[in-house]
Structure 1
Amino acid sequence: MWSHVSTPRFLTLPPGVRQQRIHTAIGDFAALEALPVSGVPERWPALLIPGLTGSKEDFIAVLQTLAQSGRRVVAIDMRGQHETPGPDDPAAYTFAALGNDIDVLAHAIAPREPLHLVGHSFGGLVAREAVIDGRTKFASCTLLSSGPGAIVGPRRQAAETMVREIPDHGVEYLWTNHLEPKVVTAGVPDQIVTFLRKRLLSNSAVGMVAMAQAILSAPDRTAELAQMTLPLLVLLGEHDDGWPPQDQAEMARRLSAECVVVPGAAHSPAVEAPETTAAALTRFWNAAETRSRLTL
């Protein structure tokens, strides 16, 4: 079941994109739903999962383009993220628990047809979990700037800071002392800074710590994912500072998956190179649907 919610005044959504709330037996999930501006969806839908400190808004720049290929596209806040509530129980934020949420959401969004799954960064590890648990038959799975196991490099340091600082000082301390100086130095517009602060402070502190701990200790499940029979895509930015590009390329090789590198992009291709990212996803999804229908 879906219900419409209003759009925050500081966000401008493209035509065909609106805020929604998805009602399920395990709780409500905040979402952005994109539909073709004209005509009806004729292709299989897609579900987009954000990263650890991200939200559905990270996909705003690609939603309209993805929907114009003739499909319904839904981006969500995971439990405990931004506008989706979450409990003060660390067990609710394990990969298994979050992967189960994706199974439930997939059936709520597309009860009668396969659904394409895209997970960004931490969301890629959650998407992988949902595929491996085998409860849902997905049309495809894309790992977007996501790696084979525990995160490394500068973003590992950021996760370690979250685990160290939030329990003692809280989320606002993390924003004021670690994140705000970086976005201000980067020249991010004031209204986006306002949104980033609001988003971070709306997250579950327990959830943030639990998910940070999870991404710091995530096992390499590439071999298990490789055993699943669905089309796989590894899509990453040329200058990714999460998992090194060479590690993601090697993961793609182990998965026998297509690997697409987005020129000029870093860890968030959907934000940094939206048209290139949307074109790669649309081409991959269309090809996956063609192959699936040929085998029916």
Structure 2
Amino acid sequence: MSSAQIDRQSFPHSAEAIRIATDRGEFAALDRAPEGTPRGTVLMVPGYTGSKEDFVTLIDPIAEQGYRVVAIDQRGQFETAGDDEPATYSVDELGKDVASIARSLDAPVNLLGHSFGGLVARAAVIGEPTLFASLVLMSSGPGALGEGQRKSMILAAEPHLYTLGLEGIYDLSQQALAQDPMFVAPPGPLAEFLRRRFVANSPYALQYMGHAMLGEPDRVAELEATGVPVLVLYGSDDNAWTPQAQSDMASRLGAQEVVVDGALHSPAFENVGGTLGALLAFWDAQPRPTA
């Protein structure tokens, strides 16, 4: 197991914690500028129960290659405030949040969405394609999450979001994981962060983002029609959307496809070098935005 896999979201980085003000609210972010004039801006969107810290292994190396990197917490995630309106957590509404952030940066930006964040990023591109120079779908699928452990966990947790509370749900989930003989407990500081992040989420965000992820239609044709260049990147052993589903999506999009060896659903931690190399090659091949 690599250091990045052990450290995960506590991996050291030099990004600055900032707040991004938009016409749709304020969003927590990590921001890392390169030396000199940026070659472009990369905007990263995390998945369900995730946060901006899911990209910490990538931020500095990407910035060192000349790109500004901005990773966000979505509405209701970790350090970005949420609300109790179900409609604000639809994929299209969350996509409008991402578009508003892109407008506040140096658009067009290179957009990356991980897992559920890929569905949101796709909606942002479909809604306002001129804001985006390219799109990376990392470990994300063509539509709703299929049958499996992840779907089962979302459905099992929902009835308890407002009774047990997020603290109770998290602690019970950790007790269940500890029963698996393959389970490796995270080191103390990381364990504390993961718990703190989970309980900071809005329960409304968890409930309605979960609904959105389980009900998202196939919008591959709509994305293909935008003409925005797409990279489909996923782990060889992804255990959310299947590798076959993601490969088929890439084919339908006419998109570049990269399979990251030895990775499951989090290639940014499970194979940092392979993920980083694929991302930089893709972005470096895109035309530079003109002033």
Aligned to 2:171: 176
Q: 1:98 aligns with which of 94, 97, 103?
A: 94
Asked if the contact 2:129–2:226 (Cα under 8 Å) also holds between the matched residues in 1, the reply is no
Q: In structure 2, do the counterparts of structure 1 residues 218 and 183 end up closer, same or farther at CA, with 3 Å as the change threshold?
A: farther
Structure 1 residue 273 displacement after superposition = 1.4
The offset of 1:170, in angstroms, is 2.1
Match of 1:5 in 2: none
Partner SS for 1:250: helix
How far apart are the structure 2 equivalents of 1:75 and 1:187? 26
- Specify the alignment match of 1:108 in structure 2: 104
Residue identity opposite 2:202 in structure 1: S
- Of residues 34, 41, 55, the one that matches 2:32 is 34
Which of residues 149, 153, 158 is equivalent to 2:153? Answer: 158
The letter for the 1-side match of 2:53 is E
2:269 and 2:178 mapped to 1: Cα distance?
A: 15
Count of matched residue positions in the alignment of Structure 1 and Structure 2: 279
Distance 1:230 1:68 in 2: 25
Give the distance between the partners of 2:221 and 2:141, measured in 1 at CA. Answer: 13
Note if contact 1:102-1:130 (Cα within 8 Å) is conserved in structure 2.
yes
Deviation at 1:179, TM superposition (A): 4.1
Shift of 1:255: 0.5
Structure 2 CA distance for partners of 1:117 and 1:281, relative to 1, 3 Å: same
Aligned-residue CA RMSD in angstroms? 1.9
Q: Give the TM-score, by structure 1 length.
A: 0.89
Residues of 2 paired with 1:191 and 1:92: CA distance?
33
State the shift of 1:12 in Å. Answer: 6.1
AA paired with 2:51?
S
Using the alignment, how far apart are the partners of 2:184 and 2:123 within structure 1? 34
Q: In the alignment, residue 98 of structure 1 is paired with which amino acid?
A: L
Mean alpha-carbon deviation: is it higher for 280-289 or for 155-164?
A: 155-164
- Per-residue CA deviation, residues 35-60 of structure 1 (Å, 9 max, x unaligned), is 22xx3133110100000110000100
Contact 2:11 2:57 in 1 (8 A): no
User: In structure 2, what is the equivalent of residue 4 of structure 1?
Assistant: none
* Contact persistence 1:55–1:82 (CA under 8 A): yes
Q: Secondary structure at the match of 2:161?
A: helix
- Could you give the per-residue CA deviations for residues 240-270 of structure 1, whole angstroms, max 9, x where no partner exists? 1000001100000000001101000110111
Task: Structure 2: give runs of 5+ residues left out of the alignment.
Answer: 1-8
Distance 1:116 1:231 in 2: 10
- The normalised TM-score by structure 2 is 0.91
